[in-house]
Amino acid sequence: MAHALGAPAAPAILRNTELDADTVRQARVDLAACFRMAGRLGMHEGICNHFSFVVPGRDDLFLVNPYGWAFSEITASRLLVCDFNGHVVAGDGVPEATAFFIHARVHKNVGRAKAAFHTHMPNATALAMLEGPPLVWAGQTALKFYGRTMVDEEYGGLALDEQEGDRIAASIGDADIVFMKNHGVMVVGGSVAEAWDDLYYLERAAEVQRMAMATGRTLKVVPEAMAARTYAQMREGDRESARLHLESVKRILAREEPDFMH
Ligand SMILES: [Zn+2]
């Protein structure tokens, strides 16, 4: 299902002590917290799926999980630092191949996509397996994604070269949410907190939509003007709400599985 990246030999050393800066350390902890909570909530898939984040202050490098480790095993220091050419600059191991080929290209080609989270989380993925639009605008939580969702209809098998990542990056436009048909989802954001917040609520929105669809009754869709208005209302406080959401996740984990910070 997944492949380790056959990366070229890594450059031997960290090129900069800035990789040890507090902001980088904080990014590692934030990202590790997302892995742990995603694992707890069943949003993971074995040793597949990947979250990445551009190293603060270094637009040519990104943090990503190493291949072979489950989300529940990720710690701040276990995350790899990679460049866009497939070199592991810091850390033990290599990223999963599709992690590199998709995430590196998205980070490189879409400047605002500092964070890129890719999962096969079951509810959202189930909707990505249907003909037509995956999300319907029938629930308030779904409206958070009303104006920034893209559907990639072109399933191309495993992304084992740069083309798939380039294609996704080129079609992403202003969207933060990409439903990858027949595959899963990708969420991009300007911060780890925003990507986490979107990933979490996307799965919740998909879950309740599936429950509603399972009744076999017709879904009551919110009229377009109201959907757009509610979306605008929700987006107003989203950045702060996302920050608080991640703080809450970190508090819970600090109490119950503090090794994620190591
Ligand atoms: Zn995938």
- Specify if 3 maps to a domain: no
Residue 42 covered by a domain: yes
Q: Is residue 6 part of a domain?
A: no
At 130 the pLDDT is 97
Cα 13 to ligand 1 centre (Å): 30
- Exposure string of 239-262, with b = 16+ CB inside 10 Å and e = fewer, is eebbeebbeebbeebeeebeebbe
CA of 125 to the centre of ligand 1 (A): 10
Span 169-217, pLDDT tens digits: 888 999 999 999 999 999 999 999 999 999 999 999 999 999 999 999 9
Cα 120 to ligand 1 centre (Å): 6
Number of structural domains, the chain?
A: 1
Whole-number Å distance, alpha carbon 127 to ligand 1 midpoint, is 15
Amino acid at 177: I
The reply to whether 162 falls in a domain is: yes
pLDDT > 90 in the chain, percent: 82
Place of tokens 């590790």: 32
C-beta of residue 65 within 8 angstroms of C-beta of residue 74: yes
Q: What is the rounded distance in angstroms from the CA atom of residue 259 to the CA atom of residue 261?
A: 5
Measured in angstroms, how far is the CA atom of residue 228 from the centroid of ligand 1? 30
Centre of ligand 1 to C-alpha 49, Å, is 6
Q: Kindly report, residue by residue over 23-57, the tens digit of the pLDDT.
A: 999 999 999 999 999 999 999 999 999 999 999 99
Task: Tell me, yes or no, whether 159 lies in a domain.
Answer: yes
**Gap from CA of 183 to ligand 1 centroid (Å):** 6
Band of pLDDT at residue 98, cut at 50, 70 and 90: confident
Which amino acid would we find at residue 164? E
Residue 260 lies in a domain: no
Which residue range is the domain that position 84 belongs to? 17-254
Q: What CATH number is given to the structural domain containing 49? A: 3.40.225.10
CA pair distance 148, 176, nearest whole angstrom: 6
Ligand 1 center to 1 CA (angstroms): 9
Centroid of ligand 1 to alpha carbon of 115 (angstroms): 16
Mean pLDDT, rounded, of the chain: 92
Residue 181 gets the label, from left (phi > 0), alpha (psi -120 to 50) or beta, of: beta
Distance 208 CA to ligand 1 centre (A): 23
